[in-house]
Structure 1
Amino acid sequence: MSETRTRIADILSRDEIRALTERSDWRGGWAVASTWGVLALTFAALAWAQAHLPLWAFALALPLGLAVIAGRQLCLAILQHDAAHGTLFKSKWGNDVLADWLCARPVWNELHKYRPYHLVHHAKTSSAQDPDLSLVAGFPATRVSLARKLARDLFGVTGLKFVLGRVLMDAGVLKWTVANDVQRLPQEGRRWWDYPLCFLGNAAGMLLTNGLLLAALWACGEAWLYGIWALAYVTPFPLFIRIRSMAEHACLEPSRDTLRNTRTTRAGWLARAFVAPIRVNYHIEHHLMASVPYFRLPQLHTLLRQRGLVAEPPSYWQVLALVSGR
């Protein structure tokens, strides 16, 4: 593994660093509010379609609704990610509490667990100690192999395994992770009732926020829409996570240098809607300086391009071709 690492102080002046790391409460608030706003509009559109369209037309509209909801579920996860770095809001309360309850808990995550886990990923990117290494292991693969993986994601196999893993993690059977590697925890001395009690204690935030979502939909006379939220979570959501993960770190050299172990990807409106919300496609920039909030990452990318440090990024289609090129 290469031992050289690009130093941000060699690239940017102090004034540039100060300007790039300036955070904004209103932009953080808008990111959270607009994400839930899109979810609300999508729920409303599906309710209208179910009531007014013939069954065949509703069946055609449903996959689009699932994809939009799953894209916003990924957006909530990315907002939690930004809060874990302390960049979503200026205030500690905004990053630690507001983002936890409005972004992390609804998609079955917890900020206080995710933050230390994710900071190890930044410190040990692409090394054997990287906790996210399993997300991009085995690439490049063949086209047939990648197609099988994407099909398992799309048809719920990956999502159901993910839900089972979450249950076992919250029950204290498996070590907590957001990656694919499974590590069992010691179970000596535990009694049968320890498992449900442990699960309820760890999953309380998810159960509460999802219960409130169900209650809100029920109050609107559309409780069935919670089933669409859950279905999106186990079908398109894992697919979008896989594509995003591959774009960020798959098929790159094991190096300590961010410019070589991380990838920035070009994202059009379609990619931003489903796999690259909140500027997460600017991943070299994020790893190079994680203190930069999402809305300033394009500015950092422009500076790096001007200084000849990064090339024009590939598209998501080009990344998919690369990771299936064995």
Structure 2
Amino acid sequence: MLRAMAAAARIDPKTIFTPEEWAPLSRRSSWKGLALLAHAWAVILAAGVMVVVWPITLPIAVVIIGGRQLGLSILMHDAAHGALHQDLKVNDWAGEWLTGGGLVRYRTYHLGHHRFAQQAEDPDLGLSAPFPITRLSLRRKIVRDLTGQTAFKQRFGDFIARLKARKAGEPILPIIAEEIRRKRRWLLGGVVITAIAAPFGAWWAWPVLWVLPQFTWFPMITRLRNIAEHACVGKDEPDPLRHARTTKAGLLARVTLAPYWVNYHCEHHMFMHVPCYQLPRAHRMLAKKGVLPGMLYEPGGYRAVLKLAAGKPG
């Protein structure tokens, strides 16, 4: 007998905010999301120019670009919630074509995560369930991230699955086919960029300034973000204030691993359609209303979260 799937408890904003307070918090802007996209690409371009002028700054550029690649993912995440632009057609177009793509598939998957946050049916539960782990285990994961092993598996695992399915005579799942189309677009984009840059002696631009950060820094900070958001959060947690963690982020953290207010993850789960640029304001308002002490909040920053997540003896 099939068990009915229980959705996670939700919070009605009207129980916390007045209509006058809630209206500006939930309002989608016609320009702020697009401005953040422009900012992400401008930072990536500036970091690339920095390397051209001063090649010795490449390690710094990898960190900066990888951080903005995560930033583009965060803005695509906002688009998945319809929060990037007030016009949903513009929202979806920008979320698909200006962030790296995959919006439709991600939206379906991610909204399931919100519906069943920290419940057995949460599709992201496997990311947080293993924690806490040992420091050695966390170190091995980070090494795999920084050496490109994680990104290679994520990028080409579907291609390998297709080869295995074809060899076994099995049908190729639509989800695999979609991912393969995305990889083809990624490779085609790289070929085009390389062809344009090669006559100017910059044939190396795409592999060095895009692929290198995407295969090293980006997967590592994506892992750290996932750990901060849901690691060591109770399974089947009944309290909607504790389905996700907000982590305090200083300037350096915001530049390198927590772009565009992604650290306000508890607030995001509480009010998932609020645009990312309104989350700091929501945090301040919740603190003034006395809600913050009941929320899952780590004032010690990402270092404190990692210490908690790697706290298993061994």
Distance, in Å, in 1 between the alignment partners of 2:267 and 2:54 is 41
1:26 matches 2:26: no
Distance, in Å, in 1 between the alignment partners of 2:232 and 2:180 is 39
Q: Which SS does the other structure have where 2:52 is aligned? A: helix
Letter in 1 for 2:126: S
Q: Cα deviations across residues 270-322 of structure 1 (Å, max 9, x unaligned)?
A: 11112211111111111111111111111111111112222363311110111
Residue matched to 1:142:
134
Distance, in Å, in 1 between the alignment partners of 2:96 and 2:189 is 11
Unaligned 5+ runs, structure 2: 1-5
- Which residue, out of 16, 41, 44, partners 2:46? 41
Q: Which SS does the other structure have where 2:292 is aligned? A: coil
Residue matched to 1:206:
186
1:246 matches 2:227: yes
Letter in 1 for 2:37: V
1:204 CA drift (Å): 4.5
1:298 matches 2:294: no
Distance, in Å, in 1 between the alignment partners of 2:20 and 2:163 is 47
For residues 17 and 188 of structure 1, do their structure 2 counterparts lie closer, same or farther at Cα, with a shift above 3 Å needed? farther
Letter in 2 for 1:298: P
Residues 279, 297 of structure 1: 8 Å contact kept: yes
1:83 CA drift (Å): 0.5
Unaligned 5+ runs, structure 1: 51-57, 174-183
Q: Which SS does the other structure have where 1:267 is aligned? A: coil
1:138 CA drift (Å): 1.2
Letter in 2 for 1:317: R
1:254-293 matched pairs, under 5 angstroms: 254=235, 255-293=237-275
Letter in 1 for 2:139: A
For residues 256 and 185 of structure 1, do their structure 2 counterparts lie closer, same or farther at Cα, with a shift above 3 Å needed? farther
Residue matched to 1:235:
216
- Which residue, out of 116, 130, 140, partners 1:124? 116
Residue matched to 1:309:
291
Q: Which SS does the other structure have where 1:103 is aligned? A: coil
Structure 1 vs Structure 2: percent identity of aligned residues?
37
Residues 142, 325 of structure 1: 8 Å contact kept: yes
1:162 CA drift (Å): 1.6
1:219 CA drift (Å): 5.7
1:188 CA drift (Å): 4.3
Q: Which SS does the other structure have where 2:31 is aligned? A: helix
TM-score of the superposed pair, with normalisation by structure 2:
0.86
Residue matched to 1:223:
203
Distance, in Å, in 2 between the alignment partners of 1:301 and 1:197 is 41
TM-score of the superposed pair, with normalisation by structure 1:
0.83
Residue matched to 1:92:
88
1:197 CA drift (Å): 8.3
Q: Which SS does the other structure have where 1:104 is aligned? A: coil
User: How many pairs are equivalent?
Assistant: 299
- Which residue, out of 303, 315, 318, partners 2:304? 318
Residues 5, 256 of structure 1: 8 Å contact kept: no
For residues 6 and 162 of structure 1, do their structure 2 counterparts lie closer, same or farther at Cα, with a shift above 3 Å needed? same
1:2 CA drift (Å): 11
Residues 248, 262 of structure 1: 8 Å contact kept: yes
1:154 CA drift (Å): 1.4
Residues 11, 240 of structure 2: 8 Å contact kept: yes
For residues 216 and 274 of structure 1, do their structure 2 counterparts lie closer, same or farther at Cα, with a shift above 3 Å needed? farther
Q: Cα deviations across residues 186-213 of structure 1 (Å, max 9, x unaligned)?
A: 964559xx9x987764544434444444
Distance, in Å, in 1 between the alignment partners of 2:247 and 2:78 is 18
- Which residue, out of 10, 15, 21, partners 2:20? 15
Residue matched to 2:58:
62
Q: Which SS does the other structure have where 1:25 is aligned? A: coil
Distance, in Å, in 2 between the alignment partners of 1:198 and 1:316 is 34
Residues 2, 256 of structure 1: 8 Å contact kept: no
Letter in 2 for 1:91: D
